[in-house]
């Protein structure tokens, strides 16, 4: 008879939780608001050079027209002509050009600051679009409006930099959680003592209700996930593109995976005949 221990898996989960708290403190530093250098020369340059430099960057240097169309009509990328979101918020197109988004690559390390401002102003003031000229002063003012609380929370969710120690710590936490979850599941599904032989299981009403509820939840969240994907795809291809709701997609997908895992556990414990094999403890080699 062998014993199925739940102590070490539980200890592993507790250690993982402690290490996760330490990780939150590591990522707890506030994300600094972006620093923007404002000079009279830079402001004047941004106001004067965007019609020519912006057009050059859009058509040739960055090749924006390949995805967004020569007249901003859209194509592989979203439509820019009449796009209210980039007209109302001047920092949004600057961020998209610098950091990229989805299929759009980042140009922050390929374009100079004046080229980024020029192409943004060209997009915001072409093909019927009309908006104020974006200058370094505009970006500095926008950065000053970001509250410290938003920066603090953002730093914990999306750290500015992740170094090798943090990667190692996250990996170790995942391994501990995996080991702990598997160990506790084994203890729950197989019991404290393992008895050799074939075990016949007979499911009760409670197990049947739990299994039906779990499968129904899986179907429900699967439908919600597919529905959200369809909505996001339609929004992405609309005349005025709507950004996909990635957090809700991730939540639905995570619920599907979790409920499927619960369903497998219920099936193994209450619906599947099992066989326990115990290793020979005599110390002799089988050959």
Q: Kindly state the average pLDDT of the residues 243-271.
A: 86
CATH of the domain at 65: 1.10.760.10
Domain match, 215 and 278 both: yes
Range of the domain at 220: 195-282
Last residue of a domain, one of 145, 162, 186: 145
DSSP string over 159-226: -S---HHHHHHHHHHHHHHHHHHHHHHHHHHH-SEEPSEEE-----HHHHHHHHHHHHHHHHHHHHHH
Q: What is the pLDDT of residue 82?
A: 87
| Residue 186 maps to a domain | no
Q: What is d(CA 216, CA 170) in angstroms, rounded to the nearest whole number? A: 33
Most confident range (mean pLDDT) of 56-65, 199-208, 218-227, 236-245 is 218-227
Contact 88, 142 (CB under 8 A): no
Q: 36: part of which helix (H) or strand (E)?
A: none
For residue 12, the tally of other CB atoms under 10 A from its CB is: 20
Domain match, 44 and 140 both: yes
| Residue 69 maps to a domain | yes
**Could you read off the pLDDT of 69-124 as tens digits, one per residue?**
888 888 888 888 888 888 888 878 888 888 787 778 888 888 888 888 888 888 99
| Residue 266 maps to a domain | yes
Q: Is the pLDDT of residue 286 over 50?
A: no
Q: Band of the pLDDT at 47, cuts 50, 70, 90?
A: confident
Q: Is the pLDDT of residue 219 over 90?
A: yes
| Residue 157 maps to a domain | no
Contact 53, 115 (CB under 8 A): yes
Last residue of a domain, one of 120, 145, 170: 145
Q: Kindly state the average pLDDT of the residues 197-208.
A: 75
Percentage of the chain with pLDDT > 90? 10
Last residue of a domain, one of 84, 111, 145: 145
Considering its fold, how many domains does the chain have in total?
Answer: 2
Q: What is the pLDDT of residue 79?
A: 87
Q: What is the pLDDT of residue 240?
A: 60
Contact 11, 193 (CB under 8 A): no
Domain match, 210 and 272 both: yes
Q: Band of the pLDDT at 154, cuts 50, 70, 90?
A: very low
Q: What is d(CA 48, CA 121) in angstroms, rounded to the nearest whole number? A: 10
Q: Is the pLDDT of residue 55 over 70?
A: yes
Q: Band of the pLDDT at 163, cuts 50, 70, 90?
A: low
Domain match, 44 and 124 both: yes
| Residue 258 maps to a domain | yes
| Residue 46 maps to a domain | yes
Q: Kindly state the average pLDDT of the residues 2-28.
A: 76
Q: 21: part of which helix (H) or strand (E)?
A: helix 7-26
**Could you read off the pLDDT of 173-195 as tens digits, one per residue?**
888 888 888 888 878 776 666 66
DSSP at 2 = E
**Which of 45-59, 71-85, 157-171 shows the lowest mean pLDDT across its residues?**
157-171
Task: Name the nearest CA neighbour of 129 among 194, 54, 204.
Answer: 54
| Residue 163 maps to a domain | no
Q: 3: part of which helix (H) or strand (E)?
A: strand 2-3
Domain match, 140 and 201 both: no
DSSP string over 47-115: HHHIIIIIHHIIIIIS-THHHH-TTS--SSS---TT-HHHHH-THHHHHHHHH-BTTBPP-TTTS-HHH
Give residue for tokens 């989960």: 13
Domain match, 126 and 201 both: no
Q: What is d(CA 165, CA 202) in angstroms, rounded to the nearest whole number? A: 49
Q: Is the pLDDT of residue 41 over 60?
A: yes
Q: What is d(CA 201, CA 204) in angstroms, rounded to the nearest whole number? A: 10
Q: Is the pLDDT of residue 287 over 50?
A: no
Annotate 223-277 with three-state secondary structure.
HHHHHHHHHHHHHHCCCCCCCCCHHHHHHHHHHHHHHHHHHHHHHHHHCCCEEEC
> What is the rounded average pLDDT for all residues in the chain?
77
Domain match, 133 and 67 both: yes
| Residue 160 maps to a domain | no
């Amino acid at each position: 008879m062998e014993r199925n221990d739940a102590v070490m898996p539980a200890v592993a989960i507790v250690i993982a939780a402690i290490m996760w708290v330490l990780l939150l403190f590591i990522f707890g530093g506030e994300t600094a608001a972006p620093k923007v250098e404002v000079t009279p020369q830079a402001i004047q340059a941004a106001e004067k050079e965007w019609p020519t430099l912006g057009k050059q960057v859009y058509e040739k240097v960055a090749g924006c027209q390949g995805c967004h169309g020569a007249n901003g009509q859209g194509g592989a990328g979203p439509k820019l002509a009449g796009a209210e979101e980039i007209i109302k918020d001047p920092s949004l197109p600057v961020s998209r050009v610098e950091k990229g988004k989805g299929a759009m690559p980042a140009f922050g390390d390929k374009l100079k600051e004046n080229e980024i401002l020029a192409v943004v102003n060209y997009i915001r003031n072409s093909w019927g679009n009309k908006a104020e000229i974006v200058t370094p002063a505009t970006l500095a003012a926008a950065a000053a409006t970001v509250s410290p609380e938003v920066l603090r929370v953002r730093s914990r969710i999306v750290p500015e930099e992740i170094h090798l120690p943090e990667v190692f710590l996250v990996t170790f936490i995942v391994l501990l959680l995996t080991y702990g979850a598997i160990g506790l599941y084994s203890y729950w599904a197989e019991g404290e003592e393992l008895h050799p032989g074939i075990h016949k299981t007979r499911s009760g009403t409670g197990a049947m209700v739990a299994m039906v509820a779990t499968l129904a939840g899986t179907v429900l969240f699967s439908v919600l996930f597919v529905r959200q994907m369809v909505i996001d795809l339609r929004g992405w291809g609309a005349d005025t593109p709507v950004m996909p709701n990635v957090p809700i997609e991730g939540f639905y997908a995570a619920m599907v995976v979790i409920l499927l895992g619960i369903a497998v556990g219920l099936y193994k414990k209450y619906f599947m005949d099992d066989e326990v094999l115990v290793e020979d403890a005599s110390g002799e080699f089988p050959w």
